Structure 1
Amino acid sequence: MRSSLTNNYKLNLIQWYPGHIAKAEKNLKEQLSRVDVVLEVRDARIPLATHHPQMSEWVGNKTRVLVLNRLDMITPQVRSLWIDWFKSQGEVPYFTNAKQGQGVIAISKAAQAAGVELNQRRRDRGMLPRPVRAVVIGFPNVGKSALINRLLGRRVVESAARPGVTRSLRWVRISEQLELLDAPGVIPAKLENQDAALKLAICDDIGQASYDNQLVASAFVDLLNELQVTASDLLPQQPLQSRYDLDSTTNTGEAYLHALAEHRYKGDVERTARQLLTDFRKGMLGTLPLELPPS
């Protein structure tokens, strides 16, 4: 999304750093010394916007496994573009659909592979092997708890389709080989990049108190119009036209929102904005990436 897109929304900066997240981040830093492997979970629709700027500082010299969750919300074509791009950055992304359990076994294996090395070093020093300790870190609502429940094979961690459900840190034993620390969602104390913040809001990866539905829904339509011009081959054909029988490409996001309100929702713009965002989040508009690899 071009920075010009957010210029219209400057008056409503998106900032969200509730007390429980600040506290959890402090506790997380205290626990990191005990961790061997970091599972960094991002949203496959916005892999760059869901990268925490402090991640490399937290990981240090530990093994990091990069997990892109919500595989079901992007096309195989977009997925392979991201795989190629991350490989060019020297990284291997693992794609999962934690709700359905797709790709979860590979994550478990990747975490345990790191443990083989760890325990070999322990044996060399005459110490007993121990389970690998992994921590799951990511923005709120990217699917961390669902991933842990899948790794465990049963539901031990509350997960819900809203940010900020996990409030405290706790260790969960997955198997003889693996222990997991479930951490609440982390988010930068200050969201410097408002383009990224908008995408977090559109994807529901940030608390609703931080944004105005109508501004975010308008920005979403603008972003979609832009992507239809620059990458139409990677998107469903006219997703908004197909869903609402109203073409968006001739309008600004704001104008489209008002036109759609008249067309479908008795002029109720707020209800229209909420519906538009909900439809996107539930996949009703098709498999829509909001970010593509930088060319």
Structure 2
Amino acid sequence: MTTPDINWYPGHIAKAEKSLKEQLKRVDVVLEVRDTRIPLSTHHPQVPEWVGTKARVLVLNRMDMITPSVRQMWTEWFRERGEMPYFTDAQHGKGIVAVAKAAQAAGEQMNQRRSDRGMLPRPVRAVVIGFPNVGKSALINRLLGKRVVESARRAGVTRQLRWIRISDQIELLDAPGVLPSRLENQSAALKLAICDDIGDASYDNQRVAAALVDFLKNLNSPDADLFLVKSLESRYGIDPVPLTGEEYIHAVANHRHKGDVERTARQILNDFRTGLLGAIPLELPPNTR
């Protein structure tokens, strides 16, 4: 199946990135939110440059969509690299308190430095950044304890930057999702499409659903066989092991939907995105055996 490369960089993202760079000068703490199913593919390559010497809190959202054993693998991998990941399920409010405390602690260090220079303390200024649809708005609403920003299970809902006062101690900048202007790594782009972290106008559902099956077949995880056999075979009644992803989509279409491949592709993607296939990662820490 030959389709164009996946690329999606709408005008509002380019505009938001420009505003974000300007606002970052005023920020003390950066909360970087990634999708826990694809924590490497949802890392914007320019984040280290944007963050500079500021404090950064790494938030891996949608923790309910991977197994505890995979979560542990990522925790160890990030810690080996000197990072502490905070796992959240912003939709249901899990892990939010720890994130708020981490942001607060980083802010206290900033105020200590101000105090050392004879300046008065001020509220911590934090920004939430990440790819579209990784759960930034849901996280902000949970940190605030009420719904103040629109949150939806689709990419590109937040369009403008704005400051929100969370408490006497923290002010938060809500920023639209940011994407690299060009997605050089098409494997990562496919994962973004599978996880619905990119606009659906940018990809072909059949190609993306076939890629999902192939990713699951190649997943090097202690739970990989469980994911494959239990998830795909029990859900659709066909063993994926002897087939390519594309062959599997066609086989399921013939078996269940009178050969309607597009409908089948949409169903498989939706089943994965809503958790009906189970708690399945698409990425594991590199060098995991």
TM range (shorter): over 0.9
Residue number among 141, 164, 172 corresponding to 1:149 in the alignment: 141
- Give 1:166 shift: 0.1
Say which of 166, 180, 184 aligns to 1:174.
166
The amino acid of 1:257's aligned partner reads: I
CA distance in 1, matches of 2:25, 2:223: 45
Structure 1 CA distance for aligned equivalents of residues 118 and 215 of structure 2: 57
Structure 2 partner of 1:108: 100
Deviations 1:93-123 (A, max 9, x none): 0000001111000000000001111111222
Name 1:231's counterpart in structure 2.
221
Distance in 2 (alpha carbons) for counterparts of 1:82 and 1:46 = 11
| Letter of the structure 2 residue corresponding to residue 86 of structure 1 | F
Q: Is residue 194–residue 209 contact of structure 2 (8 Å, CA) maintained in 1?
A: yes
1:27 partnered with 2:19: yes
Aligned mates of 1:132, 1:40 — CA distance in 2: 16
For residues 113 and 133 of structure 2, the distance between their equivalents in structure 1, rounded to whole angstroms, comes to 36
Q: Please say if residues 216 and 227 of structure 2, whose CA atoms lie closer than 8 Å, have aligned partners that are also in contact.
A: no
| 1:240 match | 232
8 A contact 2:133–2:177 mirrored in 1: yes
Gaps of at least 5 residues in structure 2 are: none
In the alignment, residue 221 of structure 2 is paired with which amino acid? A
Residues 21-64 of structure 1, C-alpha deviations (whole Å, 9 max, x = no match)? 00000000010000000000000000000000000000000000
Shift of 1:231: 2.3
Alpha-carbon distance, 1:237 to partner: 5.4
TM-superposed CA distance for 1:249, in Å, is 1.1
Q: Which residue is equivalent to 1:3?
A: none
Moved more, 182-191 or 118-127: 118-127
1:183: which partner in 2?
175
Query: Is 1:222 paired with 2:210?
Result: no
Alignment-mate amino acid for residue 224 of structure 1: L
178, 182, 187: which one aligns with 1:195: 187
What is the aligned partner in structure 2 of residue 73 from structure 1?
Answer: 65
**Normalising by the residue count of structure 1, what TM-score does the alignment of the two structures yield?**
0.94
1:43 aligns to what?
35
Say whether the 8 Å CA contact 2:228–2:240 is kept in structure 1.
no
Aligned equivalents of 1:150, 1:271: Cα separation in 2: 35
Task: Please give the secondary structure, in 2, of the residue aligned with 1:126.
Answer: coil
Output aligned runs, 1:255-274, within 5 Å: 255-274=247-266
DSSP-derived class of the 2:223 partner: helix
> Quick one: which of 268, 280, 285 aligns to 1:276?
268
Give SS of 2:7's match: coil
Could you tell me how far apart the structure 2 residues matched to 1:114 and 1:222 are? 41
Q: Over aligned residues, Cα RMSD in angstroms? A: 1.1
Residue 110 of structure 2 corresponds to: 118
Once the two structures are TM-superposed, the CA of residue 232 in structure 1 deviates from its matched residue by 4.9
Residue 284 of structure 2, aligned match among 286, 289, 292: 292
Q: CA deviation at 1:12?
A: 2.0
The amino acid across from 1:236 in the alignment is F
Q: How far apart, CA to CA, are the structure 2 residues paired with 1:292 and 1:247?
A: 23
**What is the percent sequence identity of the aligned residues?**
72
Paired residues, number: 285
- What secondary structure, in the 3-state scheme, does the structure 2 residue paired with 1:236 have? helix
Amino acid of the structure 1 residue aligned with 2:58: L
Q: Does 1:89 align with 2:77?
A: no
SS of alignment partner, residue 39 of structure 2: coil
CA distance in 1, matches of 2:116, 2:254: 72
SS at match of 1:102: coil
Partner amino acid, structure 1, of 2:130: G
User: Which whole-Å CA distance do the structure 2 matches of 1:65 and 1:117 have between them?
Assistant: 14
Is the alpha carbon distance of 1:26 and 1:156 closer, same or farther for their aligned partners in structure 2, counting shifts above 3 Å?
Answer: same
